[in-house]
């Protein structure tokens, strides 16, 4: 890499210009009036002498080298997440029925990933979504709405006796997986393509880590909502707790968990410092309440199986609060990277 120091020059009243290296201009046969393309990458710029066209990226998977069909399916999914546009799966000996089933089932769970060719020895998959159409904050918001909705229905099933809706939460797991996969793919593509990063709302590479942690925390919270819904089906056959004080406490805890999860994502997206710290301050008290409620369940419910199911449900509440903690901590880390009245970020020297 060759560095060319240049001094900024003022042109008119508002425009700053910088000269291009003479050798670089000559090698590319550029003349006055020619168009160059400037690519923004955080604090740096790249100047291209011709328009940058992102060629489709492709990868080939040799199925004959993969022993288990489920492992083959995982590799296919990982190739999608890594941002490959075209994935070819080949087999000189021919695919088994189980391999085909695993691959097709995986494709169904990945958004905008389609089978464009299928023969006895080759399956070609292609990503047909335009990554520039999905802002990362919009994907995170959609994940948040989905997960809080799942949690709300799971809570109704668990402590309010609306168990007939539990199946809806379980079936929503596919949509949860799709949105999470889309978020991961977008973030990896942003690291590989700086111009795409700008288009989807990533201002610097370090931001990718924060969004990745938040997306994973929401996905984990969604998984716990599914587990809560399944537990509610078990409880339905054992008889719900009848003591009003316990029911009221479970309802209050559940509503608080749902509310703080929503608030944590809003705090991350808005960088509301007061909200971030309110969430972090509230977590320990909520965990203490869960622990107290668990002790009450042991003392007040004589049915051992019902008591165990409710205590398992409380464990899922605690796990969701750990997701909240991660989101709030990422929000605080993001806040201190911003230049605000609270934190003044000094320019590098």
Q: How far apart are CA 160 and CA 247, in angstroms?
A: 8
105 and 156 belong to one structural domain: no
In tens digits, what is the pLDDT along the chain, a chain of 349 residues? Answer: 567 787 888 877 778 888 888 887 887 778 887 777 777 666 677 777 665 545 678 999 999 999 999 999 999 999 999 999 999 999 999 999 999 999 999 999 999 999 999 999 999 999 998 998 999 999 999 999 999 999 888 888 877 666 677 778 888 889 999 999 999 999 999 988 877 888 899 988 889 999 999 999 999 999 999 998 888 877 765 555 556 777 778 888 888 999 999 999 999 999 999 999 999 999 999 999 999 988 888 887 777 777 888 889 899 999 999 999 999 999 999 999 887 778 777 766 5
Instruction: Judge whether 232 and 151 are in contact, CB under 8 Å.
Output: no
Copy the structure tokens of residue 1: 């890499």
88 and 144 belong to one structural domain: no
138 and 272 belong to one structural domain: yes
Residues paired with residue 88 on neighbouring β-strands, in sequence order:
60, 124
Q: Is residue 90 part of a domain?
A: yes
Q: How many domains does the chain contain in total?
A: 3
114 and 203 belong to one structural domain: no
Instruction: Judge whether 152 and 261 are in contact, CB under 8 Å.
Output: no
CB atoms within 10 A of CB 207: 19
What global pTM score does this model have? 0.82
Q: Domain of 77: which CATH number? A: 3.30.110
Q: Is residue 1 part of a domain?
A: no
Domain of 117, in residue numbers = 58-127
Instruction: Name the nearest CA neighbour of 131 among 112, 154, 106.
Output: 112
Q: Is residue 343 part of a domain?
A: no
């Amino acid at each position: 890499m060759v560095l060319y120091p240049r001094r900024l020059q003022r042109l008119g009243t508002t425009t700053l210009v910088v000269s291009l290296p003479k050798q670089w201009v000559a090698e590319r046969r550029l003349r006055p009036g020619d168009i160059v393309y400037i690519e923004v990458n955080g604090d740096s710029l790249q100047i291209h002498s011709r328009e940058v066209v992102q060629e489709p990226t492709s990868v080939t998977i040799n199925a004959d080298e993969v022993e288990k069909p489920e492992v083959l399916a995982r590799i296919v999914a990982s190739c999608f997440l890594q941002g490959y546009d075209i994935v070819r799966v080949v087999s000189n000996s021919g695919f088994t029925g189980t391999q085909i089933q695993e691959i097709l089932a995986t494709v169904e769970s990945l958004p905008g990933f389609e089978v464009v060719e299928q023969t006895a020895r080759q399956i070609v998959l292609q990503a047909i979504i335009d990554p520039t159409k999905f802002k990362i904050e919009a994907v995170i918001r959609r994940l948040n709405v989905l997960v809080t909705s799942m949690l709300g229905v799971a809570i109704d099933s668990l402590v309010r006796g609306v168990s007939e809706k539990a199946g809806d939460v379980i079936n929503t797991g596919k949509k949860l997986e799709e949105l999470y996969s889309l978020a991961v793919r977008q973030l990896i593509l942003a690291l590989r393509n700086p111009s795409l990063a700008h288009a989807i709302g990533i201002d610097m590479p370090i931001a990718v880590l924060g969004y990745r942690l938040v997306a994973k925390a929401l996905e984990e919270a969604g998984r716990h909502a599914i587990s809560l819904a399944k537990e509610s089906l078990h409880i339905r056959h054992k008889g719900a707790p009848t003591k009003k004080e316990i029911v009221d406490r479970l309802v209050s805890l559940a509503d608080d968990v749902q509310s703080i999860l929503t608030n944590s994502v809003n705090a991350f997206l808005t960088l509301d410092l007061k909200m971030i710290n309110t969430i972090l301050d509230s977590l320990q008290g909520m965990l203490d309440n869960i622990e107290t409620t668990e002790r009450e369940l042991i003392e007040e419910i004589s049915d051992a199986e019902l008591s165990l199911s409710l205590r398992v449900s409380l464990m899922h509440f605690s796990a969701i609060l750990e997701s909240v903690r991660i989101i709030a901590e990422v929000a605080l880390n993001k806040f201190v990277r911003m230049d605000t009245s609270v934190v003044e970020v000094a320019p590098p020297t």
